[in-house]
Structure 1
Amino acid sequence: MCSAGAIGQAIAECFAVAGAQLVLVYNRTQPAAKEHFTGLGAADVLAVQCNVAELPSCQELVRQALEVFGTVDILVNNAGANGLEPMHVQSPDSFIHDLAVNLHGPYYLMRLLMPGMRAQRSGCVLNITSRAGVLPNVPFSTSYHASKAALINLTGCVQAEADVDGLEDVHLYALHPGGVRSEMTLKKYKNAATTLPDHPAAAAQLTQRVDAYNDSPYLNGMTCVALATGLARRVLRGRYFDVGQDLEDTLKPAAADAITRGADRGLYTLHTRYLGTVPDGSGAVLDEPFAFPGF
């Protein structure tokens, strides 16, 4: 897990309290000292510098982790990059960089570690995504929204492959970590007026939005630990979950049954609803029949 920022450090601390062995990943800013995490209860700690946007760097990270610990049972992908510019202004290099951090990095690490998880028939992947991945038509953060939506679908697709092979103890989740005042978020909104000089009203709204970012990063950290135990794997595996929801309420029998049996279509997934009778892959109608005028 990337452990230098507010969200990453909180996740690492929560897993430390749970007694996990930690591989702390950082790129430029080093994480807190090993003694900080062992003092919280971590069984052991390894810090590795890695640029998750680059495959060779991810390969070296995995090599070191396996050399020290033998196996990796839990993968947390929480590195993030978020450009704030109109798509027609943002440089292609900047756009691709955001995709590389938010999507390619998680893919690289999942690709490197999934064979081991499948071989041992157990493992958990926690992909930290965002509400940005499920909110359509939001301007000025195209690279971030597009990459987070792709990561949510990547999570679901890899889970479906594990399910096809009967790997019940291989479970993946895409999580919105809440509104956390991370360094990335503060930098993005603080500079909105400079980044969006031609859109002062939108920039002002973005600057004010940070006031609503009051969630503790430990809410996400504790949710990650809970999901890693497998307590929700039969209900939320492969799905998108917002940590602002009460996990206990979501797992109550009536709610869990609605999710797993499909009583309410599209819960905790990305989906599109159509006007009319367009069928999905199972032949079920996605919306009420509609008679188009003039036909």
Structure 2
Amino acid sequence: MNESYLVNNNQKCERLRGKVAIITGSTLGIGAATARLFVQQGARVVLNSHIHDAAAERISSELGSGHSLFVQADVADAGAMRDMVDKTIAKFGKVDVLVNNAGMNVFADPLQMTDEEWQRCFSVDLEGAWNTTRAVLPFMLEQAAGSIINIASVHGHKIIPGCFPYPVAKHALIGLTKSLGIEYAARGIRVNSISPGLIMTEAIQSWFASCPDPVAEQQRQAALLPCRRIGMPEEVAYTAVFLASDEARFINATDILIDGGRSQLYHD
């Protein structure tokens, strides 16, 4: 079965018909791919970024005001997250799905890292997810249904030297996922996470471009993966669609790795 058939078939199914989703950090990369696919699958989507820039304008225009709403807000601001949820309810009447995708890389030597770097990492990568989750939970509990999807990382499973404190926050995010999933399972709320590996986002493209030999570095990175290729944002987005859909109604407090098998290797 070829990939194009799967894409076209899934689009016709509209697996998220009638659902309303908030996707944080959704103007680029995995977040943007997830927003596009959610709309294709019949959902209405609240887009979010901490800045209102050209990327926000592009995806807002692409998805259209009938299917989407852009809200500029920093996930580190709990009040701003409550306001974003209020705007979602005002426009679409409910919220069925939350995808906590907003995040940032903070890689530093532990003893050289500043207090500000540590605090910003956790305020976005961990507390940001909690701020938004805490804002949507009352509405999801009232309707006795909801799916919360946290975008974690392969860094939450395996440690890569030189990446501190990012893995600490991602390990904690997976812990938050499992704890909340169990806490609210009997009340209709599912909480799961996705842990992407190396995905060809705009940020990764920029990183490759900054290397002395971009082509060679991309080939080197691909060769480290068992599948010998780098993942695409859409491949993460399809997993988010599944977890958001009623097809996954018996999946809870679980993390799904999307890393081409890389984290299972004992040695390169």
Class of the TM-score when normalised by the shorter of the 2 chains: 0.7 to 0.9
Range 4-13 or range 55-64, more displaced: 55-64
Note the C-alpha offset of 1:43.
Answer: 5.4
User: Could you tell me which residue of structure 1 aligns to residue 181 of structure 2?
Assistant: 159
Q: Deviations over 1:209-239 (max 9, x none)?
A: 47767211101111111111132332x3111
Amino acid at match of 2:32: Q
- Secondary structure of the structure 1 residue equivalent to 2:246: coil
- Secondary structure of the structure 1 residue equivalent to 2:45: strand
User: Could you tell me which residue of structure 2 aligns to residue 241 of structure 1?
Assistant: 256
Distance in 1 between the 2:99 and 2:28 partners? 14
1:59 maps onto 2:85 in alignment: no
Distance in 2 between the 1:192 and 1:95 partners? 26
User: Could you tell me which residue of structure 2 aligns to residue 129 of structure 1?
Assistant: 152
- Asked whether the 8 Å contact 1:133–1:152 carries over to 2, the reply is yes
- Asked whether the 8 Å contact 1:127–1:173 carries over to 2, the reply is yes
Distance in 2 between the 1:206 and 1:82 partners? 19
Which residue, out of 185, 189, 200, partners 1:181?
Answer: 200
1:217 maps onto 2:233 in alignment: yes
TM-score normalized by structure 2? 0.76
- Secondary structure of the structure 2 residue equivalent to 1:231: helix
Distance in 2 between the 1:100 and 1:113 partners? 18
Distance in 1 between the 2:165 and 2:249 partners? 30
User: Could you tell me which residue of structure 2 aligns to residue 34 of structure 1?
Assistant: 60
Alignment CA distance shift 1:134-1:170 (3 Å): same
User: Could you tell me which residue of structure 2 aligns to residue 83 of structure 1?
Assistant: 106
Alignment CA distance shift 1:188-1:107 (3 Å): farther
Note the C-alpha offset of 1:244.
Answer: 4.8
Note the C-alpha offset of 1:56.
Answer: 2.2
Which residue, out of 142, 158, 171, partners 2:164?
Answer: 142
User: Could you tell me which residue of structure 2 aligns to residue 24 of structure 1?
Assistant: 47
Q: Deviations over 1:155-197 (max 9, x none)?
A: 110011112xx22x3211110134212234455677699xxxx
Amino acid at match of 1:79: A
Alignment CA distance shift 1:95-1:183 (3 Å): farther
Range 19-28 or range 212-221, more displaced: 212-221
- Secondary structure of the structure 2 residue equivalent to 1:99: helix
Which residue, out of 228, 232, 236, partners 2:248?
Answer: 232
Note the C-alpha offset of 1:44.
Answer: 1.8
Distance in 1 between the 2:167 and 2:208 partners? 16
- Asked whether the 8 Å contact 2:108–2:165 carries over to 1, the reply is no
User: Could you tell me which residue of structure 2 aligns to residue 4 of structure 1?
Assistant: 27
- Secondary structure of the structure 1 residue equivalent to 2:247: coil
Distance in 2 between the 1:95 and 1:85 partners? 9
Note the C-alpha offset of 1:147.
Answer: 0.6
User: Could you tell me which residue of structure 1 aligns to residue 14 of structure 2?
Assistant: none
TM-score normalized by structure 1? 0.70
Give the percent of matched residue pairs that are identical in Structure 1 and Structure 2: 26
Distance in 1 between the 2:211 and 2:113 partners? 14
- Asked whether the 8 Å contact 1:121–1:170 carries over to 2, the reply is yes
Note the C-alpha offset of 1:23.
Answer: 0.3
Name the count of aligned residue pairs.
228
Amino acid at match of 1:150: A
Amino acid at match of 1:241: I
1:47 maps onto 2:70 in alignment: yes
Note the C-alpha offset of 1:64.
Answer: 1.3
Alignment CA distance shift 1:222-1:43 (3 Å): farther
Note the C-alpha offset of 1:21.
Answer: 0.7
CA RMSD of aligned residues (A): 2.7
User: Could you tell me which residue of structure 1 aligns to residue 12 of structure 2?
Assistant: none
- Asked whether the 8 Å contact 2:32–2:59 carries over to 1, the reply is no
